[in-house]
Structure 1
Amino acid sequence: MRRGAVRSVVVAGLLALGAGVPGSVQASAHASVQASARVADGPEADVAYHGRVALSGARLRIWLVPENDGPAAVPNATLRVRLSAELADRQQLAEGCARAGSREVVCETGPLPLHGRGRHIALLLELRERAPEVAVRVDTWWDGGATDRNHSNDEHVVLALDTGDTYAF
């Protein structure tokens, strides 16, 4: 799937979730989609994310690899990266990624074969302003119709300090 197609899917998903709609309507729609995704009747998979985060000045570097421990392959999924700090207005995002809010980016994983890895995803995000620390939350936004009963390896929160040091998850 190319960038234009990904953005179309992401934009359609955001519109379905009520992006741009104030407060509780958007949160309620998002919670409904998240709840239905968690009880999907699709094949069972175990999606996991492993990576690194580094904050230096107003630049946040994120590198991660999605994996699938099975028992079924996943044709595609979408991961979400949420930040505790606001993103700058302009971002140069990796292919397959799109901005989903003032503090949020979503990226497609590509196919996740049984006991295999998806594409490596590297993000260089510009923050609106320098922050002494940024909490980075990574989770699955859309699971490709699969059921994933183990969320301990696909939901991460990493605190990155403005030191340039790398923090692994």
Structure 2
Amino acid sequence: MRTLMRVLCAVVAGAGLVVGAGSPAGAGGVSLAPEADLAYHGYVSMADGRVDVRLTPRNHGPSAVTDATVRLRWSVALADRQSLPGGCARADARAVVCRTGELAADGLGEEIRLAVRLRGAPAEVMLEFETVWGGGAVDGNRANDRQRVLVLDTGDSYVF
């Protein structure tokens, strides 16, 4: 009977979370989730199939974010073997996800640096960035946390 009660309590609590999750506002129309505006700026270059990326996450606020995740997706497949920095992991054949760490309201995060090898040596690649998890915060301005950069195999830096 005790086990059944625990299961029922867990189901009821879970149902409450699901019901509450569909409504961004609580009683009186006040938002229950913190609000943050995440953006990414930096530069990217490519030479001989190696892409170097440096990006700095920024939180325009108004609330701090304990952690967030940014996805970097290339238009071509990555080489099978990669050496990624701590906080970054391979997501699929063309993508890597990286933690931003804590982002103070109206503050900059730590610079994320990574170098990846592409499969082959393409003349150009499209690199897309986007937030895939905002630490539970609501981002009302999704336009500045999604970017696309065309990178040519010239060794030149492209700023975003």
Same fold (TM over 0.5): yes
Check if 1:88 corresponds to 2:79.
Answer: yes
1:113 paired residue number: 104
Residue 154 (1) aligns with residue 137 (2): no
Which consecutive unaligned segments of at least 5 residues does structure 2 have? Answer: 1-20, 25-30
Q: Where do 4+ consecutive residues of structure 1 move more than 2 Å?
A: none
1:136 aligns with 2:124: no
What residue number does 2:52 align with?
61
DSSP 3-state at the match of 1:157:
strand
Provide the rounded CA distance (Å) in 2 between the counterparts of 1:72 and 1:122.
Answer: 25
Question: 1:91-127 CA distances to partner (integer Å, 9 max, x unpaired)?
Answer: 0001100000000000000000011111110010011
Residue matched to 1:102: 93
1:144 partner SS: coil
Distance 1:94 1:154 in 2: 21
Q: Please, what TM-score do these two structures have when normalized by structure 1?
A: 0.75
Pair 1:45–1:128, CA change in 2 (3 A): same
Q: Summarize deviations over 1:48-83 as a string: whole Å, max 9, x none.
A: 100101010110011000000100000000000000
Pairing 1:76–2:67 present: yes
User: Cα RMSD between the aligned structures?
Assistant: 1.4
Report % sequence identity: 50
What count of residue pairs does the alignment treat as equivalent? 132
Kindly provide the amino acid, as one letter, of the partner of residue 118 in structure 2. L
Determine the C-alpha separation between the residues in 2 that align with 1:41 and 1:84. Answer: 37
**TM-score, normalisation: structure 2:** 0.80
1-structure distance, mates of 2:94, 2:58:
24
Q: Is the 8 A contact 1:41 1:146 kept in 2?
A: no
